[in-house]
Structure 1
Amino acid sequence: MSNEKYAISAKKRRSAVVLLMTMVLLGVFPLDVLLPSVPALANHFQTSPADIAFSISLFAIGISVSQLLIGPLSDAIGRKGLLLAGMAVSIIGSTGCVLSTEYTWFLMFRVVQAVGCGCFVLSQALVQDLFGGPERDRLRILMVTASGIFISVSPFMGSVLQQALDWPGSFYLFIALAVTVFLKAYFFLEDQRPAGASRQNIIHSYRRVCADLSFMGYWLIAAIAFTCHFSFIVVSPLIFMDQLQMSTFEFSLTLLIYGAAYIIGGIAAQVLANRIAPNTQIVVGLSLIFLSGLLMLLLSISLGLSALTVLVPMIICTVGTTIARPIATSKAMDVFPNNAGTSASAGNTLVFIFGGLISALINLSASDLQSTLALAFLLLSTTALGLNAQVNRRPCRSELARDRRQR
């Protein structure tokens, strides 16, 4: 995509950042903020907590299928219309959830909400469209940092909303934020198709991007970095509340402390982005994840399970994730700059599936989650380091295209 075509003023740049950060915040509400309300939802709809958990799983499936269609479509018809449509559908779904009196209706409207939330995948495409070079990398670092902080504070936020407004509280706030994104996108984004975008059908578009080894390699590295964070989030209630017997409030405060690691990681990533090469940043981030796994394993053997022996390694791991994931994402998105929607959808789906599968496997080891988590970090970071070395042995598609233009 032509950077000149999408060059924006300082005022519009600020508007773009606000829009993207609001989309990142909005992304934690359908899943993370709702978790403290699971018992209240089960009681309201006279069903079991397992049924409410099923609605969360169904939501995840719905958003995955939706984003697979939205990304390629946005390459063909533009981002604005799809983002506005997605926000409108998600608002309708959320409103339906609040008004539902039966579980079946609630389940149906959760799927509607999920279909609308598939438009969140456009945040990566918008970054690719509106920003370039180091500024693009810095914004992705900011988005990963903000996402981690929002996820860390979401249980506390969900508890506050549950206490103040009962289970509809998270839906009310979601609707308010979705309306904000809708209005911001309506007045800020231009209604145009990305320059140079391909008109190929969806299947051909996915086949094209997924056949590129550099594209898949960098997205796998980003997926591995995300998985280390996501696996901890998934098993953290079992570690802190079931095994360490923390209360819900204590658990929320513990995750607030963990969220501080994202601030540290974001600062470190910004500093490194200005001083070392992108591939070196990836190596540094993955090496920190490896170090965190090694430290967690040693602490588990020598001191046993405690909040300290889990949190200290996880802070190191999170710093590594915040350094490696944004630059790996940028490298992946740069391979097909004119197919940013398809690239973002393919990559985000890979990240989601990989994170879900690995976290589910770790969750099977309920008796020794700390050691399993540590071994997973060691294996995953080693795999990602090998992938990075392999990818850098061959020039990526964007570099080959640049060389052809220079000739």
Structure 2
Amino acid sequence: MSESYSQPVGDAKRQQLSRFILITCISLISFFPINILLPSFPALAVKFDTSTAEVALSISLFTLVFAISQLIAGPFSDKFGRKEVLLGCIVVSTLGSIGCVLATDYPTFLLFRAVQAIGCGFFVLGHALVEDLFEEQDRARIRIYYMTLSGSFVALSPLLGSWLQTTFDWQGSFYGFAVMALGMFIHACLILPSKTASPERAPVSIIATLKSIAGNRDFIRYWWIAALVFACYFALISVTPLIFMDHMTTITLLIPMLISALAVTLVRPAAISAAMLLFSSSAGTAASAGNSIMFFTAAISSAALAQAGANLLMTIAISFIVFSIWGMVTNARVGR
């Protein structure tokens, strides 16, 4: 465990539980900008006088901006401290969420979605905090636990999103994000030490670390496996409204979604843990680089699917097969 977080505060089990809750909250809040918003696509299209396909494409825009923002958040957390960067990002993302609620036209809505995405760079700190807060032998287990909870939340998110849409209209998911972000802000203030209260780490050049990461083939391969698995799942949920427009039933959609969620829950934690172990001393930068691979892949895949038109279902099926074979080939090459 990192020395920065080695000092016990109160009961050890309570402290571990408190840390796990923070990690889990970072994972769960990541569903609000995308998953929880899905039932509100038709309402957004009506509100801003645009098409459902255009609203679906905005998910890709959000993901691309987010992928860039996490490239900044991770390295900054190595340099300035996890707590400082986490709290700052929460503030920015909350302001973006509130701005979306107050938007009166679609370009303004997209602008504040971009602001929200910039702040949401703190999502990447979940992986870095696992490296900081837990022993090496516990990290894969912790990731499996909180990603399993995330998988359960995925299953429940359409119901929650529908309830928020019914109760608060399309603004509901943004209200939910802001409330959860406020709770996480308070929780992080209480359990994470500031940079000035932690022992100084040896200064490491961010550029040098990125070069080292880019040159490590196993690191790239582990994250590429995680990216391929996540891209299948993300691309599927991002085009869900378009699938229903093609009259696909809930049952036939639920089966591939459950398979994708199961793959994400089982494969991604193991691949990410193995990758992060290679650069645990620069966990923020490593997590940023890896997550960028994953989310750029997901964003490009979902954007391509959104343009598939009448061939959408066949394109999804072929993509699942190709990505699965690609992942198995990549796994076979790890360690060579």
Q: Give the TM bin, normalised by the shorter chain.
A: 0.7 to 0.9
Q: Which residue of 2 aligns with 1:324?
A: 267
Q: Which residue of 2 aligns with 1:301?
A: none
Q: Which residue of 1 aligns with 2:6?
A: 6
CA offsets 1:154-181 (integer angstroms, 9 cap, x no match): 2322221111111221111111100001
Q: Which residue of 2 aligns with 1:120?
A: 123
1:357 alignment partner, one of 300, 310, 313: 300
Higher CA-based Rg: 1
Identity of aligned residues (%): 42
CA separation of 1:94 and 1:333: change in aligned 2, threshold 3 A: same
Separation (CA, whole Å) in 2 of partners of 1:176 and 1:5: 27
Q: Give the conservation status (yes or no) of the 8 Å contact 1:90–1:112.
A: yes
Residues 1:215 and 2:219 aligned together: yes
What amino acid maps onto 2:212 in structure 1? R
Q: Which residue of 1 aligns with 2:234?
A: 230
Q: Which residue of 2 aligns with 1:402?
A: none
SS in 2 for 1:336: helix
Q: Give the conservation status (yes or no) of the 8 Å contact 1:70–1:119.
A: yes
The Cα shift of 1:243 comes to: 2.9
CA separation of 1:111 and 1:372: change in aligned 2, threshold 3 A: closer
| Structure-2-length-normalised TM-score | 0.87
- Greater RCO, 1 or 2 (C-alpha within 8 Å, sep 6+): 2
Separation (CA, whole Å) in 1 of partners of 2:268 and 2:304: 22
Residues 1:339 and 2:282 aligned together: yes
Q: Which residue of 2 aligns with 1:206?
A: 210
CA separation of 1:5 and 1:149: change in aligned 2, threshold 3 A: closer
Residues 1:180 and 2:169 aligned together: no
Separation (CA, whole Å) in 2 of partners of 1:39 and 1:314: 21
- RMSD of aligned Cα (Å): 2.7
Separation (CA, whole Å) in 1 of partners of 2:226 and 2:34: 21
In the alignment, structure 2 segments of 5+ residues that lack a partner are none
Residues 1:375 and 2:325 aligned together: no
Q: Which residue of 2 aligns with 1:105?
A: 108
Residues 1:135 and 2:148 aligned together: no
Separation (CA, whole Å) in 2 of partners of 1:91 and 1:4: 28
CA offsets 1:210-245 (integer angstroms, 9 cap, x no match): 111111111111111212222332344444x13335
The Cα shift of 1:331 comes to: 0.2
Q: Give the conservation status (yes or no) of the 8 Å contact 1:3–1:131.
A: no
Separation (CA, whole Å) in 1 of partners of 2:263 and 2:38: 27
Q: Which residue of 2 aligns with 1:81?
A: 84
Separation (CA, whole Å) in 2 of partners of 1:151 and 1:54: 20
Separation (CA, whole Å) in 2 of partners of 1:361 and 1:47: 20
In the alignment, structure 1 segments of 5+ residues that lack a partner are 255-306, 394-407
Separation (CA, whole Å) in 2 of partners of 1:210 and 1:19: 30
What amino acid maps onto 2:25 in structure 1? T
The Cα shift of 1:47 comes to: 5.0
- Aligned pair count? 332
Separation (CA, whole Å) in 2 of partners of 1:53 and 1:319: 24
Separation (CA, whole Å) in 1 of partners of 2:199 and 2:41: 45
| Structure-1-length-normalised TM-score | 0.73
The Cα shift of 1:372 comes to: 3.8
Separation (CA, whole Å) in 2 of partners of 1:387 and 1:45: 43
CA separation of 1:316 and 1:107: change in aligned 2, threshold 3 A: closer
What amino acid maps onto 1:353 in structure 2? F
